[in-house]
Amino acid sequence: MMIDRRTLLLASMAALLPAGTAEARDKPSPETLDYGPAKLDIYAPDGARNLPVVFFVHGGAWEFGKRSQVGAKPAFLLANGFCFVSIDYRMLPQADVATQAGDVEKAYAYVRANIAQHGGDPNRIVGMGHSAGCHLIALTGMRGGLPGVAGLLLDDTRAYDLAALARNGGMVRAYARVFSDPSQWAALSPASHVDDRKHPPTFIAYSRADGRGEQSTAFAERLRATGTEVTLFDGSAYTHMSINRDFGRDGDALTTAALAFLKSVG
């Protein structure tokens, strides 16, 4: 499935978000828990029971960011029948990217083991991430580190195939600093873990930021070749920041498309 700019514009104008604007509602308060390497926040509606779950990993160039930077996501998703989890993970330079991926997998395992106590269904968890968090969700999801995950919602990275990125001149200073050892590029590239098996249904969104469309499209094609169900969202109307910031806002086209995906897999 391909969502083009015309579809994006129509969806924005239609304002099809069924539960109304999340910004008009009070931001729900989470329960904060310690999963080992760091902490995570669980947002759940009152009386929740067996609800699908969105497991979110924030961005920040692998060096900064925190679990509280979730914008309208919790209010919107709770209003639409989901639990929402946002995690912290150890940052560079304290932890390298491989360690961060391990943190994501530990957090996911903790959530899967405990989310039923908070009203979530451990068999209906969708992994979601933006920017560096998108890379970490893609990496852990493709390598099998999120067992039983119902789907992956990947929001704007170009770090799908690091060797290809370097060949195409996309290993900019920030990436070169984070991925400084070429011998690790294959292990840290989500694309390296795409093999002949079918992977979880995957929604891939990209902004107009440099290289995002090309890298996202190439990754989507690689996944489709395995028979994996892939939705590719053309978010070229967004910046790298707004494609995350606007999620859950009234009339946002990405939110409309992502909600349809979430309901289809969860």
| Domain range annotation of the chain | 2-265
Query: Is 190 within 8 Å of 134 (Cβ atoms)?
Result: no
Rg of the Cα trace of the chain?
Answer: 17
Question: What would the pLDDT profile of 58-115 be if each residue is shown by its tens digit?
Answer: 999 999 999 999 999 999 999 999 999 999 999 999 999 999 999 999 999 999 999 9
- Angstrom distance (rounded) from CA 68 to CA 71: 8
Find, among 91, 107, 103, 101, the residue nearest to 40 by Cα.
Answer: 107
pLDDT of residue 170: 86
Helical ranges in the chain per DSSP H: 5-14, 73-79, 97-114, 132-142, 162-167, 173-178, 185-188, 212-224, 242-245, 253-265
The domain made up of 2-265 has a fold known as Rossmann fold (3.40.50)
Instruction: Give me the chain's average pLDDT, please.
Output: 91
- pLDDT of 185 over the 90 cut: yes
Query: Is 227 within 8 Å of 191 (Cβ atoms)?
Result: no
Query: Is 85 within 8 Å of 111 (Cβ atoms)?
Result: yes
**What pTM did the predictor assign?**
0.90
pLDDT of residue 12: 40
Fill in the amino acid letter for 102.
G
Q: Which two tokens stand for residue 161?
A: 């195939």
Q: Where does the pLDDT of residue 28 fall: very low under 50, low under 70, confident under 90, or very high at 90 and above? A: very high
- pLDDT of 240 over the 50 cut: yes
Q: Where does the pLDDT of residue 27 fall: very low under 50, low under 70, confident under 90, or very high at 90 and above? A: confident
Find, among 200, 190, 253, 195, the residue nearest to 230 by Cα.
Answer: 200
Find, among 152, 133, 157, the residue nearest to 70 by Cα.
Answer: 133
CA distances from 82 to 61, 118, 226 (A): 28, 11, 29
